[in-house]
Amino acid sequence: RALEKDIDRAWEAVQHARMPLIHTFIATSDIHMKYKLKMTEEQVLERAIAMVKYAKSYCEDIEFSAEDASRTRVEFLYRIIEETIKAGATIVNIPDTVGYATPEEFGKLISGIRDNVPNIDKVDISVHCHNDLGMAVTNSLAAIENGATQVECTINGLGERAGNAALEEIIMGINTRKDFYKVTHRIDTTQIYRSSKLISSLTGIIVQPNKAIVGSNAFAHESGIHQHGVLSEKSTYEIMTPESIGLKQNRMVLGKLSGRHAFEEKLKEMGYNLTKEQIDNSFQKFKELADRKKDITDSDIEAVVEEKFAKIPEIFKLETYQISSGNCLVSTSTVSVRRNGNVFTEAATGEGPVDAAFNAMERAVGFTMKLEDYSLRAVTGGKDALGEVTVRVSRNGKMFTGRGVSTDVIEASVKAYLSAINRVLSEIGEEIIMQGR
């Protein structure tokens, strides 16, 4: 925000960066100035200039954003951009804060800024588009077409409300249509797929199957006509290659008889750089999975490795769990967990086996959480598919995510909930542990 205290805190965070930058913003649309800020245009202009100058006293690179720019009176927008550049801004950011603009409008807005702000050539023009009407990516590309040199975007399009412009869609749009956009970037596109998977794993927000670029169906061809075309010549239905985003197509399937060497080579092929100890631990988990599942795919290995090396302290460790459930039975569960050499065992009932297991686990660890979201997806196909469960829980107003994988969905659920418990304990601290165990 355009407040001295916010700028002070921002500088504390970035002062040791190799290239520190402070980004300050203030709303400029009539509706925001009237109802949120309760300020006039002149007051907003004065504040923006003063805060850019204040930020400039800390570092050279300053970004100024005119919040809700797409609904701002255009003459005022030109003026505040010009004056903040004079005050020292090196980047001016044009946000479509509520995703209101259309691509044609947003492109004209950027073009108008270039034509009507006299000193605009001294700065980079940035854009920040939201996806409320599903046009964040197209608006961002329209801005690039009309002279924007920076785009603020997120992996998988994550963000407030309906999200922000998806990095992977913008980058691959630029790459695939170089003939049209005629711009360059320094993104290593072969890291896109793995980055998407990592972000999905860390946030617990699953990527929809038909998501452009990184969805599981993005390079799948079901129609017979499409399949025939791709087999004859890939470019008939594929305008980019899976390999260009780091998605390997030559997927060697491992199984129960696969040895450590084959497993290690597969890890290298997938881009993992693990220590000998980490490989040993992963191989042990792989063999356990291979005893339960006939064929192990890349997705199975990714799930096992990511679960094994998630950076969550194992404060409580799962020892055993038992479930009793049926259509004529009250679901019951007994769970045993270990902490500091001590084993705690509790039983509980619930509305179904998962709820019963969660209740028993909370009794065993000695505190409760609120389950906000539960999701289950099959990592691969088949009856013996590896299931991945992601839970989001809240405690003391904070949100935490846990993740578990197994061929048994109940076990995956138990692992995910215990993972969330350990994350809560590691982040909130000993006061909760002392209340329980």
CATH number for the domain that contains residue 29: 3.20.20.70
Same domain membership, residue 134 and residue 18: yes
- The CA distance from 20 to 11, in Å, is 8
How high is the pLDDT of residue 260?
Answer: 85
Q: Is residue 171 situated within a structural domain?
A: no
Same domain membership, residue 35 and residue 88: yes
Q: Is residue 201 situated within a structural domain?
A: no
- Closest by CA to 337, choosing from 316, 356, 309, is 316
Same domain membership, residue 138 and residue 14: yes
**What are the tens digits of pLDDT across the range 371-393?**
999 999 888 777 778 888 999 99
The mean pLDDT of the chain is 91
How high is the pLDDT of residue 434?
Answer: 47
Same domain membership, residue 140 and residue 41: yes
How high is the pLDDT of residue 226?
Answer: 53
Q: Is residue 72 situated within a structural domain?
A: yes
Same domain membership, residue 20 and residue 146: yes
Q: Is residue 223 situated within a structural domain?
A: no
| Mean pLDDT (whole number) for 407-430 | 90
SS3 221: coil
Q: Is the pLDDT of residue 50 over 90?
A: yes
Number of domains forming the structure of the chain? 3
Same domain membership, residue 374 and residue 329: yes
Same domain membership, residue 79 and residue 104: yes
Q: What backbone phi and psi angles, to 5 degrees, belong to 420?
A: -65, -40
How high is the pLDDT of residue 383?
Answer: 76
**What are the tens digits of pLDDT across the range 257-300?**
888 888 888 888 777 888 888 888 888 888 888 887 777 777 78
Same domain membership, residue 266 and residue 137: no
- The CA distance from 312 to 421, in Å, is 10
**What are the tens digits of pLDDT across the range 131-175?**
999 999 999 999 999 999 999 999 999 999 999 999 999 999 999
**What are the tens digits of pLDDT across the range 311-367?**
677 899 999 999 999 999 999 999 999 999 999 999 999 999 999 999 999 999 998
Q: Is residue 38 situated within a structural domain?
A: yes
How high is the pLDDT of residue 30?
Answer: 98
How high is the pLDDT of residue 238?
Answer: 84
Domain range for 282: 254-308
How high is the pLDDT of residue 86?
Answer: 99
Q: Is the pLDDT of residue 304 over 60?
A: yes
How high is the pLDDT of residue 222?
Answer: 52
Q: Is residue 15 situated within a structural domain?
A: yes
How many percent of the chain have pLDDT more than 90?
68
Q: Is the pLDDT of residue 436 over 70?
A: no
How high is the pLDDT of residue 2?
Answer: 97
Same domain membership, residue 324 and residue 303: no
Strands 329-339 and 317-326: antiparallel
Distance of CA 432 to the CA centre of its chain: 29
Two tokens, residue 184:
């360059």
Distances (CA, A) of 232 to 226, 237, 405, 432: 10, 10, 38, 62
How high is the pLDDT of residue 305?
Answer: 81
Q: Is the pLDDT of residue 202 over 90?
A: no
From 152, 183, 209, the end of a domain falls on: 152
How high is the pLDDT of residue 128?
Answer: 99
How high is the pLDDT of residue 314?
Answer: 86
Same domain membership, residue 354 and residue 273: no
How high is the pLDDT of residue 6?
Answer: 98
Same domain membership, residue 322 and residue 279: no
Q: Is the pLDDT of residue 199 over 80?
A: yes
Distances (CA, A) of 404 to 169, 312, 344, 408: 29, 12, 21, 10
Question: Which CATH number do you get for residue 373?
Answer: 3.30.160.270
From 283, 308, 333, the end of a domain falls on: 308
How high is the pLDDT of residue 149?
Answer: 98
At 302, the amino acid letter reads E
From 119, 152, 185, the end of a domain falls on: 152
Do the Cβ atoms of 316 and 365 come closer than 8 Å? yes
Same domain membership, residue 90 and residue 37: yes
| Mean pLDDT (whole number) for 188-206 | 90
